[in-house]
Amino acid sequence: MESDKENLNKWIDKTRIPLPLQPLPALPKHLLKSDQQRVPLRSLNSVDLVAGSSRTYGKFVSHKQNVQNQNTGGDKFVTLRQKNDDLDWDLKLINDKNKDEEDSVITISDDSFSEKENLGTVEPKKVNTPYKSPILEPNKFKNVKRSLKRPHSRELQGLSPLGAAEKKGDEKHKRRLKFDENFRDLQPPDYCEELYKKCLHSDYAKDMFEYLLSVETPGQVSVLPTISRACVLNWLMKVNGPRGNPAVVQTACWYLDSVLCGRVVQVDQLQLVAAACFWIAQKIHGPVSLASKLVKYSNRAFSCNQLRKTEMGILNRLKFPKQPIVPQDFITYLSWVSNKSCFGEIEIAATFLCMSALMIDKSFSSELPSVIAGVCVRNALIALGDRESIQRLHNCPIFQAIQKKTENVCAICSRLRRAVGVVAQNNFEYKAPIELFGAGPHFIAQKVIKFVKDTFAVNCT
């Protein structure tokens, strides 16, 4: 046992304070009960605010001793009224049946009584309250979202007031505004678009397109082989996508032909140069893709740093040229002038003809953009079978100015149809124009291809 003495005593709490061997004696009674009683506070409205103890106020109250004699115990924090207050001291608020028990006396001011509970003979005293500044008043619109059940808050939010039988789930869908009443005053977006188009056609169209016709210049023909150029443009069309702006691809084609007109580029660097031209065209027309996105589309054939350096090299070589004019600038307007009700189909068909011609025949780069656009719109109208729109196109002053710029319209039309025929061949590998402009439900590219095949069949016979 002696050897295990340390282990037995290790759980005993060790303290430096000596502990008593016997319990402490009980406290005397005079310490438990205090004879000193706190003098009740006087009303703040009858006494000036003077610093000091609240017990000094008891010297001015003469009937405090009578109130203290009524209290049998626990008479602390009792508020006394003024001398001139007419109070009913025999008023009983609580019918307490157990009168033998010692209860504390509770004094309640007359201001807390309601009119129904008051006896009528005793009129409650009105206490003057201090003036409250309107700046400190709470905001009427505070917590509007948290108090939507209140009628005024629901009116601010535009909600209908809650009825007695309405459910909470229906309040989100019920609005005070009835859209059927003021629908005549609201105009749809198509109406605004029509107004814009009328305004554009009547005020700015003639001046704007006359300026474009005066400053346009033919492009340059690149020394790149036709098949390699078609491969690169086919990739750019896929990167641009069906919702992309065709003017971006046409601008990229202009930059590519301008760079490669007198310089040979290696095959492994051709995709990098085409991507840089496409990136410049996106920054002109928008929206702009990230460099990492173009790198991803190229299957990591180049890096982002190489793309940036190539872009700067192209701009420095061309001496930062002005924004080039492309056929799409005229195709949209000429399609709308021809037929304002269904100009979308005409524009798609003309764009398909233009993209096919630029991809297959690189000699189209040496033609004026307005001439390419006029020929494409005219052939699109013939392919869709819209004879009335052809007459409107010939009456357009912009189209008449385009016709004066060239003399071999028939030769350009035949070259255009031949390019579409090459794209439509089964053994031709690059089908991006048909995939982009031949989707359902209208299948515009297929209609144009059928027209081209029928024209070739007629010419052969």
pLDDT band at 109 (very low <50, low <70, confident <90, very high): very low
CATH code, domain with 362: 1.10.472
* pLDDT given for residue 56 in this prediction: 47
Q: SS3 of 159, please?
A: strand
- Assess whether 276 and 349 both reside in one domain: no
Residue 103 lies in a domain: no
- Assess whether 333 and 451 both reside in one domain: yes
* pLDDT given for residue 18 in this prediction: 73
Residue 249 lies in a domain: yes
Domain boundary among 293, 317, 341: 317
Domain boundary among 261, 291, 317: 317
- Assess whether 253 and 346 both reside in one domain: no
pLDDT band at 31 (very low <50, low <70, confident <90, very high): confident
Q: Which of 282, 249, 450 is nearest to 355 (CA)?
A: 249
Domain boundary among 282, 317, 352: 317
- Assess whether 334 and 376 both reside in one domain: yes
What are the structure tokens assigned to 349, written together? 């068909």
Cα(140)–Cα(49) distance, integer angstroms: 34
* pLDDT given for residue 176 in this prediction: 43
- Assess whether 417 and 450 both reside in one domain: yes
- Assess whether 270 and 357 both reside in one domain: no
* pLDDT given for residue 108 in this prediction: 42
Q: Which residues of 118-136 are buried (b: 16+ CB within 10 A; e: fewer)?
A: eeeeeeeeeeeeeeeeeee
What are the Cα distances from residue 270, in Å, to 86, 225, 230, 232, 429?
107, 12, 12, 8, 19
* pLDDT given for residue 155 in this prediction: 57
- Assess whether 347 and 290 both reside in one domain: no
- Assess whether 448 and 371 both reside in one domain: yes
Residue type, 121: T
Q: Which helix (H) or strand (E) holds 384?
A: helix 369-384
Count of structural domains within the chain? 2
Residue 411 lies in a domain: yes
- pLDDT > 90? residue 82: no
Which tens digits make up the pLDDT trace of 425-449? Answer: 999 999 999 999 998 888 999 999 9
- Assess whether 313 and 333 both reside in one domain: no
- Assess whether 270 and 362 both reside in one domain: no
Residue 454 lies in a domain: yes
- Assess whether 297 and 376 both reside in one domain: no
pTM here is 0.59
Residue 189 lies in a domain: no
Residue 43 lies in a domain: no
Residue 193 lies in a domain: no
CATH code, domain with 260: 1.10.472.10
Residue 307 lies in a domain: yes
Q: Which of 206, 146, 257 is nearest to 401 (CA)?
A: 206
Domain enclosing residue 434, as ranges: 328-460
CB 438 within 8 A of CB 446: yes
- Assess whether 374 and 312 both reside in one domain: no
* pLDDT given for residue 367 in this prediction: 94
Q: What is the mean pLDDT of residues 25-47?
A: 61
pLDDT band at 36 (very low <50, low <70, confident <90, very high): low
Which tens digits make up the pLDDT trace of 270-329? Answer: 999 999 999 999 999 989 999 999 999 999 999 999 999 999 999 999 999 999 999 999
Angle at 419 between CA 415 and CA 423, to 5 degrees: 170
Chain length of the chain: 461
